[in-house]
Structure 1
Amino acid sequence: MKSKKIFPLIGITLIILFFIFGTPRYQSVKISNESFIVLENKLKEASNTNSEININNLTSFSWDECYVFPPYYPQEMIYEKVGREWTSSETFIEFLMFHNIENQTVNDDQYLIVFKKDNNIVLSKIYDLDQLPVIFKLDKYKFKSNNANFLIKVSNQYDEGKIKELTLKD
């Protein structure tokens, strides 16, 4: 009689654990974006007070390459350019529901910034220009940590000089 009650309990426990922790694939593509808030604040301050910045001086993590994708850039092409998939979903259920659209910008003022180290994504975040008022002007949407010096100028594209354009310094 006890064994009949234990099997359903074990089954329910395994299902709950599956939905909490997910699959090995989910665990292998999961990243944390905790460092973005620090980067966002430093980048905002630096772009408002300087005419040049080096992104390496603003990051608290190690990285080799950075990609910045403009509004409406297709997620499949993002994964192709970066060379891998990732998720910042905190739960497996969230991953199942939103992975097909989570790294896709869907508004005119949304950009996706992705930092990569040794072919691993170390930070990825969609930001709005209201949140982080900078536009990276890049060829092929990419720059490397050994060439992360940018010139800052006020964007002519937006009113009141609130938005800054960052272009790579030669």
Structure 2
Amino acid sequence: MKKITVFILLLFLLVGCSQSNVQHNKDLEDSIYSIVDDKNKSEISMKSLTTFDWDKAFLFTPYSTQEAIEEELGTDFKDPSNISMRDDIYLLVFLDGDKVVQYVEIERRGSDFSIRQKGHLTPSNDVISIERH
């Protein structure tokens, strides 16, 4: 009986340490799409759309590998979008300190997105450029 109790406690501990607290922010995705769908707009200001704390955000292009994502973030993050095999989305990952807090999958919708040469976004340097085809 003790072994089962220990096993259950370890299982809860492992589950508690998982990325389950990393939120897929679909409301933010919808806000981004409303800007992308407006052909008169060429930029997305992330600070104006976010309602959570973050200090860095990284934009990953289609076919980004798991290794490249973790290297860029500087932390472990299991990519839930499987972007390494996809060309239809960009992955935007937000960090607060050294922890991933939220992410969005941005459908291309006939557009490409870039943060130019910045490397990552910050609340004070938060613009994603939209390049339409």
Tell me the TM-score range normalised by the shorter chain: 0.7 to 0.9
Unaligned runs of 5+ in 2: none
Inter-partner Cα distance in structure 2 for 1:151 and 1:102:
24
Residue 100 of structure 2 corresponds to residue 111 of structure 1: no
Unaligned runs of 5+ in 1: 1-8, 88-100, 157-170
Q: How many residues align?
A: 128
Instruction: Say whether the 8 Å CA contact 2:23–2:102 is kept in structure 1.
Output: yes
TM-score by length of 2: 0.74
Instruction: Say whether the 8 Å CA contact 1:29–1:86 is kept in structure 2.
Output: yes
- Pick the structure with more helix per residue: 1
Q: Identity percentage over the alignment?
A: 27
* TM-aligned CA deviation for residue 102 of structure 1: 4.3
Q: Which runs of 4+ in 1 moved over 3 A?
A: 28-31, 101-104, 132-135, 149-153
Which residue does the alignment assign to 2:30? 41
AA in 1 matched with 2:13: F
TM-score by length of 1: 0.61
* TM-aligned CA deviation for residue 145 of structure 1: 1.7
CA RMSD, aligned part only? 2.8
Correspondence list, 1:51-90, <5 A? 51=41, 52-87=43-78
Inter-partner Cα distance in structure 2 for 1:109 and 1:141:
21
Structure 2 CA distance for partners of 1:122 and 1:21, relative to 1, 3 Å: same
Instruction: Say whether the 8 Å CA contact 2:58–2:120 is kept in structure 1.
Output: yes
Which residue does the alignment assign to 1:14? 6
Structure 2 CA distance for partners of 1:39 and 1:123, relative to 1, 3 Å: same
Match of residue 32, structure 1, among 16, 22, 44: 22
Relative contact order higher in (CA < 8 Å, ≥ 6 apart): 2
Please list the CA deviations of residues 70-92 of structure 1 after superposition, one character each: whole Å capped at 9, or x if unmatched.
122121121111111135xxxxx
State which structure, 1 or 2, has the greater radius of gyration over its C-alpha atoms.
Answer: 1
